Homo-oligomer: A and B are copies of this chain.
Amino acid sequence: MYNKPRLLTPGPTPLPEEVRLALARDMIHHRKPVFKKILAACQEGLQELFGTKEPVLVLSASGTGAMDAAATNCFKPGEKVLVVEAGKFGERWREIATARGLIPAPLVLEWGKAVRAKDVAEAAAKHPDAVGLLVQASETSTGVLHPIQELGEVCRANDLLLVVDGISAVGISPCPMDAWGVDCLLTGSQKGLMLPPGLSFMALSQQAWERVEATKPNNFYFNLMAEREKIRTGQTLFTSAVNLVVGLEACLAHFREIGLNAVFQKQWAMTMLARTSAQAMGLELLAKEHFTWGLTSVLLPEGMDGVRLLQIAVDEYGVVFAGGQDRLKGRIVRIGHMGHVDWADVAAGVQALARSYQRCGGYIGCRDYLEQGLAAYENALTQHVGC
């Protein structure tokens, strides 16, 4: 191997060395003081990350497990929920709602578009019996960022419980749940938190907890009320994925050291680097206005074989991108730039993309695309992005 592997997918992300060393530590027991202390120490960092005063639950399951838990704990079978369906993960919300006996009222959008607050207001007017809204903060399949803060206002005004899949948003772009009126926010470990997959995190507002108490779900593994009791004692309800929690402590220590706003700033700047470079190359971006800060989706010209392009990128340049999913398969390249990724990784991604694109017959007129991207990166580092 003369290329180092470079994972530029929207999760899992590369792991910092501190996390990898933490993962390799020998086992400790999940019911003994040494583990309780670590889990309790993580609470503070998780609450800051979620922007909440409520406890943040730690579930041993992937993010989809947390989505399933949210839908089944917050809503009763037969209840109607609005669902923003603007990509694969919006579809997943609808599938979960359907499987679990909720009545989904989908707001279907073109893949690549963000929902607008007024779309939700209109849907709420059309479905006065809806009790909640299921939405992604960042739709990972397209790279679109939905306007969660504005949706929070609409949901308040219409008495809708706002349930947000923050899987590729938390720790990547601001989503302070208490300030924005989010009732349930969840994420997975393998995105902004730069851990391996296997853990998910979830917090609920007072209003959401009241609904859970009234819903009395028949869940056993995903029993959020029982998890809330346990987390107060520095434990999880069932055996926790111990070494991932030990890694979490290392990750949260890193966030504490550099500050969440610095993380967001870096994410914003890398997004500018990727977007500006791709546009300078002549490529079209899938998410035009409302784009996430952890991945950039570029559209390939009609007729170009996107699967082959990805293969060239990994074989010749060592760069692992994600392709499109379902209807976008072969049509887009998703450049992940979240977690333990820096400007030089993104620059390598941009160059690998350009060269693979040319190998697939694409034409790049402008030779200083990377220079333009780096200038945008440096400029972005001076902009105000915090919240």
Q: Which residues of A contact B (CB under 8 A)?
A: 5, 7, 9, 11-15, 20-21, 23-32, 60-65, 68-69, 71, 95-96, 99-101, 188, 190, 196-199, 218-222, 238-244, 320, 322
Contacts and interface: CB of A to CB of B under 8 A. Distances in A.
A240 B95 contact: no
Given A238-B62, A239-B63, A239-B188, A23 B24 contact: yes
A273 to B, nearest CB: 22
Copies per complex?
2
From A13, A20, A24, A190, name the one whose CB has the most chain B CB atoms within 10 angstroms.
A24
A301 to B, nearest CB: 24
Nearest to A32: B320
Contact of A62 (B5, B27, B60, B196): B60
Contact of A197 (B25, B30, B63, B322): B30
Given A20-B24, A21-B24, A29-B7, A242 B196 contact: yes
A191 B62 CA distance: 21
Nearest to A188: B239
Given A197-B240, A239-B197, A65 B221 contact: yes
B28 A60 contact: no
Given A61-B60, A99-B220, A197-B240, A26 B14 contact: yes
Given A29-B7, A196-B243, A241-B197, A221 B21 contact: no
A221 B9 CA distance: 23
Given A60-B65, A197-B240, 15 more contacts: A11-B239, A23-B24, A23-B243, A27-B190, A61-B61, A61-B65, A61-B221, A63-B239, A65-B238, A95-B220, A99-B220, A100-B218, A196-B244, A198-B241, A221-B222
Contacts of A5: 26, 28
A29 B9 contact: yes
A239 B140 CA distance: 13
A118 to B, nearest CB: 31
A67 to B, nearest CB: 8
Contacts of A219: 99
A66 B136 CA distance: 28
A11 B242 CA distance: 11
A244 B20 contact: no
A239 B64 contact: yes
